[in-house]
Amino acid sequence: MKTLKVVKIGGKIIDDEIALDLFLKDFANIKSPKILVHGGGKSASQLMEKMNIEVKMTNGRRITDADTLDIVTMVYAGRINKNITAKLQANKCNAMGFSGVDANTIVATKRPVADVDFGFVGDVSKVNTRILNLLLEHSITPVFCAITHDENGQLLNTNADTIASELAGAFAKQRKTELYYCFEKNGVLRDVNNDDSVIELINTKNYQKLIEEQVINDGMLPKLINCFNAIKMNVSKVCIGKSNMLFDTKSKFTTIQK
């Protein structure tokens, strides 16, 4: 089987229409089987503001009450997913929008209430690849938003980086799989203000030191946990950087290894 590329794009690409169009044109041209996972960007919060729904956060993390779940379902699975899918179709990429609900592809468990009640937030418990494999074999490109379900009718809001990592990990059991986290920077930076200060390799040896030095901060830490999680599940290549890393092997980006 051909190598599968799982590509995640973050919020800042989604919020920038020109950057998104350029990315999707490039992504459509990837010849190998591929899956796109997209985050949400600012548009859910903006819609909540318009509707006078309070955006509830704790330690920088969103609390998903029933109203918030409704909004993110509409924005992620509706507005963003269908527009991205239509644009890929326009670029001759036979894309198909997915949430974890569809064909029961990603099952999650509502996060138990501990110190914080995150509300309708789901932690991935199972990825079903059967139908996805069937579609990939027929040249379909799945496009995932970060909505999952609990198999009992409840939709759940799930971290898009985690969706990408869990999808890649599930496919890595069956075929060579690579995972790319695309965002607006060249990779994990030693100096956040200097896009040339890319740390080209992060592995279990230098990881702890980078955390202690606070080079890896609160914003980047969850992404790296997802990267190491993917590696543990035998994903053969895990990278963080600008989307040109997908095409230009000379570009600088961060590779995460064991």
Residues at the site binding a second copy, with contacts judged by CB under 8 A: 50-51, 70, 73-79, 81-83, 85-87, 89-90, 94-97, 99, 101-104, 130-131, 134-135, 138, 140, 147, 149, 151-155
Could you give the count of Cα atoms lying within 13 Å of 12 in the half-sphere of its Cβ? 8
Q: How far is the CB of 104 from a second copy (least distance, A)?
A: 6
Q: Name every residue whose Cβ is closer than 8 Å to that of residue 90 and which is 6 or more positions away in sequence.
A: none
Closest separation between CB of residue 87 and a second copy, Å?
A: 5
Least distance from C-beta 126 to a second copy, angstroms? 12
User: Residue 176 CB, nearest distance to a second copy (Å)?
Assistant: 24
3-class state of residue 81 by DSSP = helix
The terminus-to-terminus CA distance of the chain in angstroms comes to: 24
Comparing CB distances to a second copy, the nearer of 38 and 149 is 149
Name which of 133 and 236 has its Cβ closer to a second copy. Answer: 133
Task: Please report, to the nearest 10 degrees, the dihedral formed by the alpha carbons of residues 200, 206, 207, 209 taken in order.
Answer: -120
- Report, in Å, the least distance between residue 146 CB and a second copy: 12
Give Cα separations from 172 to 40, 101, 122, 249, 251 (angstroms): 26, 21, 22, 22, 25
3-class SS of residue 25: helix
Q: Pick between residue 78 and residue 251 the one whose CB is nearest to a second copy.
A: 78
CB nearer to a second copy: give 8 or 149.
149
Return the DSSP state at 55. Answer: -
Task: Give 141 or 229: the residue with its C-beta nearer to a second copy.
Answer: 141
